[in-house]
Amino acid sequence: MKIYDIEGFPNPLRVRIALAEKGAMDKVEFIPIDVMGGEHRSNAFTAKNPDATVPLLELDDGTCIAQCNAITEYIDGVFDGPSLTGTTPKERACIAMMNLRAENGLMNAVGAYFHHATPGLGADLETWQCAEWGNKQKEVANTTMAYFNSVLENNEFLAGDSFSIADITAFAGLVFADFAKVDIPESLSNLQAWRAKVAVRPSIVG
């Protein structure tokens, strides 16, 4: 299978962490996409992924899977190792809920701030911006950080006692927050401690 992505970007990071958690980084051929040059919006790429986003997973039969959550669902299902998406219906539901909160409230909120209320990836790529929306989403990201801090008062990880896709999404969201200069308050000590713990996982330090 192939993954089209660009190293160092926040959404590609999510799938790379998931693959590393499953010990499967060497099972995938990575194909770099020149996002800064707009390759993700080319006809050749949008024929595979109409979302015009990376990462994109292409299976050996030609099936293309876009969206980090969908790609991680596949990775989690086909490779061995601890489950990232849960096994019982209750686990799966709790992880899905927290992952959505991490995606919408942190990753995508930081992304909206970055792409709409800052120069983002530059004028050639940021063809439509709405600064008012972007700035509001920065507030959403800060609210989500405070909420996660409260969750981590009692939980070791965001969806309970086990590391999951929700932790991956939130961790990548904080990496993006650093890059976009969205402050992560020092006062959120549970979040800071969780981040430090996740940052030293073998899937992340490599």
| Interface size with its own copies, residues (CB under 8 A) | 32
Among 69, 118, 155, 190, binds its own copies (CB under 8 A): 69
CA distance 93 to 66: 21
CB of 205 to its own copies, least distance (A): 27
d(CA 138, CA 117): 9
Coil, strand or helix: which one is 177?
helix
**Identity of the residue, 127 or 196, whose beta carbon is nearer to its own copies in the bound complex:** 127
Closest distance to its own copies from the beta carbon of 100 (Å):
5
Distance between CA atoms of residues 19 and 73, nearest Å: 11
Q: How many CB atoms lie within 10 A of CB 103?
A: 23
CA 100 to chain centre: 11
Cα(200)–Cα(123) distance, rounded to whole angstroms?
Answer: 36
Q: Based on CB atoms, which residue is closest to its own copies, 50 or 82?
A: 50
Contact 24, 77 (CB under 8 A): no
31 and 73 in contact (C-beta within 8 Å)?
A: no
Q: Which is nearer to its own copies, 20 or 66 (CB)?
A: 66
Q: Which of 35, 184, 56 has its CA nearest to residue 120?
A: 35
Measured from the CB atom, the residue of 35 and 65 that comes closer to its own copies is: 65
Between 69 and 162, whose beta carbon lies closer to its own copies? 69
Selection from 100, 54, 196, 160 nearest residue 204 by Cα:
196
Site string for its own copies, 95-114 (x = CB under 8 A): -xx--xx-------------
Q: Which of 65, 110, 117, 152 binds its own copies (CB under 8 A)?
A: 65
Binders of its own copies among 138-197, rule CB under 8 A? Answer: 147
Q: ω into residue 55 within 30 of 0, thus cis?
A: yes
Stretch that binds its own copies, among 9-17, 23-31, 62-70, 118-126 (CB under 8 A): 62-70
Please tell me whether residue 36 binds its own copies under the rule CB under 8 A.
no
Provide the binding-site residues for its own copies, judged by CB under 8 A: 50-51, 57, 59, 63, 65-67, 69-71, 73-74, 76-78, 88-90, 92-94, 96-97, 100-101, 128, 130, 132-133, 136, 147
